[in-house]
Amino acid sequence: MGRAQRDGRRGTAHPRGGLGARRALKIAALAVLSMPFLTACGIEDVLRFGFPEGVTPQAEQIRHLWIGSVVAALVVGVVTWGAMFWAVIFHRKKKEEAADAIPRQTQYNLPLELVFTVIPTIIVAVLFGFTVLVQNYADKDEATDMTVDIAAKQWNWDFSYPGHTTPDGKDVVTIGTSDTIPILVLPTERSITFNQYSNDVIHSFYVPEFLFKRDVFPLPDKNDQDPTWVIDRIDREGAFVGRCAELCGAYHAMMNFEVRALSPVRFDRWLELRTQVNPATGAPYTAGEALAAVGREDPTCGELCAPLATTTYPFPTDRTYRSAQLPPSAAGS
Ligand SMILES: [Cu+2]
C-alpha cells in the first residue's frame, strides 16, 4: 500500500477532531490492561490485593477464599455503582416538571423487594458456605508427621521439639532473647502440628506467608481456647518473618521471629545436631550454631543456613531511644 493510500485511509477512518481523544483513550486502556504484565506479576498477584503469596496448602485455600470474596464484592460494587449513576444521570428532575413535583413512587413493590431480599441472602449464603469449608480445612485437627511447641512470653518466643532431647536430658528448645531473634526451623513437605501456650498475657502467632494467625493464650484449656493447629506442609524452602499479632505490652512490636523452612534432609540433620554437644562450645548446639554447621556441611544451603535471622533483627530495648531503628546492615553504612 502506497503512502498516499495509507494517509487517505487514515484521513477517512478518523475524522481529525476525534483522533487525539480516541488514541488517548486507547493508550490509557492499554496501560491499565498491561500493568499486571509489565510489573511481572500475573492476574493472581493483582487479585491478591496485598495478600502475601502463601506457602502452605491451607494458605492457598485461604487466598482463594479472599480472592473470591473480593471479586464478588467488586461485582456487587460495580452493579450498585452502575445503578446509582444510572439513576443520577437519567432520572434528574426535568425542566418541564413543576417545582414541587415528586417523582413516581415505587415503594411497596413486592416483587422488587423480594428480589432485593433474595439476592443479598444468596450472596451471604454462598460466602458463608465457602468460608465454612475453608475454615474447617484450615482449622482441622489430625495426626501429623511432627509437633512443635510454641511458648509466647513478653516479649519473645520459645520453640521446642517434643521427643528430642539434648545429651543433658533437656528438651531441644530455641529461646528468643532481646539479642537473638528465635528461628523456628521447620521441614518442607511434612505435616506439622503447632501446640501453643503463653506464659503471661495473650499473644498471637502470625506468619504472613501462612496467611494464618492464632491467638496464644495462657492456660488455653481453662480459657476454653484451642491451642493446636496444623499445616499439611510447607511448599518450599525459605525464610519467612513471623510476628506477634496481638497487642501484648510495651515491646509487642519487637516480638518478631523467623520461620526457616529447610528440606527434610537438611532439617533432619539440623535436629540431629541439636541433640548433640557442640565441640566448639562444650554445650548443646543452639539453633544458630546447628544451622551454621548444616551450612558448612552443605554449602549449597547458602543463606538458608544463615545462623541469624535474615528477615528481621533484634530491636534495641532502650526506652530512651529516640531515633529511627535501622537494620544492622543499614546502620553501619
Ligand atoms: Cu505478643
pLDDT digits (tens, 9 = 90+) for 181-239: 999 999 999 999 999 999 999 999 999 999 999 999 999 999 999 999 999 999 999 99
48 CA from centroid of ligand 1 (Å):
27
Q: Is the pLDDT of residue 16 over 50?
A: no
Query: Please, are residues 196 and 216 in contact by the beta-carbon 8 Å criterion?
Result: yes
Q: Per-residue confidence at 163, pLDDT binned at 50, 70, 90?
A: very high
Orientation of helix 264-274 relative to helix 287-297, angle to 10°? 130
229 CA from centroid of ligand 1 (Å):
18
207 CA from centroid of ligand 1 (Å):
13
Delineate the domains of the chain, giving CATH numbers in brackets: 43-90+111-139 (no CATH), 146-305 (2.60.40.420)
Query: Please, are residues 193 and 203 in contact by the beta-carbon 8 Å criterion?
Result: no
Q: Is the pLDDT of residue 60 over 60?
A: yes
**Closest C-alpha to 42, from 77, 73, 67:** 67
287 CA from centroid of ligand 1 (Å):
21
Please give the average per-residue pLDDT across 294-298, as a whole number: 95
Please give the average per-residue pLDDT across 79-102, as a whole number: 87
161 CA from centroid of ligand 1 (Å):
21
The DSSP code for 325 is -
327 CA from centroid of ligand 1 (Å):
21
225 CA from centroid of ligand 1 (Å):
17
159 CA from centroid of ligand 1 (Å):
14
Q: Per-residue confidence at 314, pLDDT binned at 50, 70, 90?
A: confident
Q: Is the pLDDT of residue 4 over 90?
A: no
Q: Per-residue confidence at 320, pLDDT binned at 50, 70, 90?
A: confident
264 CA from centroid of ligand 1 (Å):
30
> What is the model's pLDDT at position 22?
79
152 CA from centroid of ligand 1 (Å):
7
Question: What cell does 149 get?
Answer: 511447641
Please give the average per-residue pLDDT across 258-287, as a whole number: 96
Please give the average per-residue pLDDT across 295-321, as a whole number: 89
Residues listed for the chain: 333
Distance CA 293, CA 285 (A): 9
321 CA from centroid of ligand 1 (Å):
21
Question: What cell does 240 get?
Answer: 519467612
174 CA from centroid of ligand 1 (Å):
17
Query: Please, are residues 194 and 205 in contact by the beta-carbon 8 Å criterion?
Result: yes
134 CA from centroid of ligand 1 (Å):
26
Distances (CA, A) of 318 to 155, 195, 322, 327, 328: 14, 32, 9, 16, 16
202 CA from centroid of ligand 1 (Å):
7
Please give the average per-residue pLDDT across 35-51, as a whole number: 68
Share of the chain above pLDDT 70, in %: 88
Query: Please, are residues 112 and 202 in contact by the beta-carbon 8 Å criterion?
Result: no
136 CA from centroid of ligand 1 (Å):
26
> What is the model's pLDDT at position 310?
92
Q: Per-residue confidence at 100, pLDDT binned at 50, 70, 90?
A: confident
247 CA from centroid of ligand 1 (Å):
6
186 CA from centroid of ligand 1 (Å):
21
The DSSP code for 209 is G
> What is the model's pLDDT at position 104?
80
147 CA from centroid of ligand 1 (Å):
22
Q: Per-residue confidence at 40, pLDDT binned at 50, 70, 90?
A: low
Instruction: Determine how many CB atoms are found less than 10 A away from the CB of residue 104.
Output: 5
Query: Please, are residues 199 and 151 in contact by the beta-carbon 8 Å criterion?
Result: yes
> What is the model's pLDDT at position 13?
43
Q: Pairing between strand 228-231 and 192-198? A: antiparallel
Please give the average per-residue pLDDT across 244-269, as a whole number: 95
> What is the model's pLDDT at position 318?
74
> What is the model's pLDDT at position 33?
67
> What is the model's pLDDT at position 19?
61
> What is the model's pLDDT at position 45?
74
